[in-house]
Amino acid sequence: GAGVSQSPSNKVTEKGKDVELRCDPISGHTALYWYRQSLGQGLEFLIYFQGNSAPDKSGLPSDRFSAERTGGSVSTLTIQRTQQEDSAVYLCASSLGDRQRGEKLFFGSGTQLSVL
Amino acid sequence: AQSVTQPDIHITVSEGASLELRCNYSYGATPYLFWYVQSPGQGLQLLLKYFSGDTLVQGIKGFEAEFKRSQSSFNLRKPSVHWSDAAEYFCAVGAGTGTASKLTFGTGTRLQVTL
């Protein structure tokens, strides 16, 4: 596609429910990232996929968070048993994956998650 | 571990005035440095990046940034601000060669432009 697409753009859920956030990266981009942006905070790294390599999950805040990337394209971030502190904007980014040169990230518009 | 500090949470400038947004980083080796902009309702967009070489980097929309190793800084500048520059600006540092894309972002500086 023309850019990184994320859905839904807004999600309101009740505490304790599970949510799934979707990211559709730019076609041909081998690298995909998830970041979280909380109010008044910077962007917090969550997870990184690069080709067929094992994902870098070092930023996931708890075992309630997981992500997968199917077929090297679409990615889903799942949050189980949501808590109010999970409320944030979840941003997805993709890149060509040329890590040696510090590649440019293309960001989606994000999913605003609100946990009531 | 790397970190980024953006000491100014909010800055207001008049249209046509010059702008400087501050960014200080902490990283043990030569950093990869970035500035991203997030306009209202838009995704983050790369303004410019520094990897090596010339310490003065030119970016899009008339922005530039200067890498000063002695000060661990990478301040963003623009000689004449336009109303459309109102947005949130994020400085970021990337780790070394093997993990260059795992960026650590600052908390951002919100720029307001008055007419």
Residues A4-35 pLDDT 10s: 999 999 999 999 999 999 999 999 888 899 99
Strand partners, B44: B38
A56:B102 CB<8 A: yes
Mean pLDDT of B84-113: 84
Instruction: Compute the mean pLDDT over every residue in chain B, rounded to the nearest whole number.
Output: 90
Cβ neighbours for B32, distance < 8 A, ≥ 6 positions apart:
A102, B49, B50, B51, B93, B94, B95, B100
Token pair for residue A90? Answer: 């979840």
For residue B111, give how far its alpha carbon lies from the nearest alpha carbon of chain A (Å): 14
Number of A/B CB contacts below 8 angstroms equals 64
Contacts of residue B108 in chain A, CB cutoff 8 Å?
Answer: 42
**Which pLDDT value is given to residue B100?**
46
Among residues A111, A112, A74, A113, which one has the least CA distance to residue A94? A74
| Beta-carbon count within 10 A of B79 CB | 11
Phi, psi of A94 (to 5 degrees): -135, 160
Strand partners, B88: B38, B110
Cβ neighbours for A38, distance < 8 A, ≥ 6 positions apart:
A44, A87, A88, A89
Contacts of residue A103 in chain B, CB cutoff 8 Å?
Answer: 100-101
More confident: B111 or A101: B111
Mean pLDDT of B47-55: 88
B44:A91 CB<8 A: yes
Give the HSE-up count for residue B47: Cα atoms under 13 Å, Cβ half-sphere.
Answer: 27
| Stretches in chain A below the pLDDT threshold 70 | 1, 99-103
CB proximity under 8 Å: A 35-74 to B: 35, 40-45, 48, 56
Mean pLDDT of B19-36: 90
For residue B26, give how far its alpha carbon lies from the nearest alpha carbon of chain A (Å): 15
pLDDT confidence tier of residue B42, bands split at 50, 70 and 90? confident
B94:A102 CB<8 A: yes
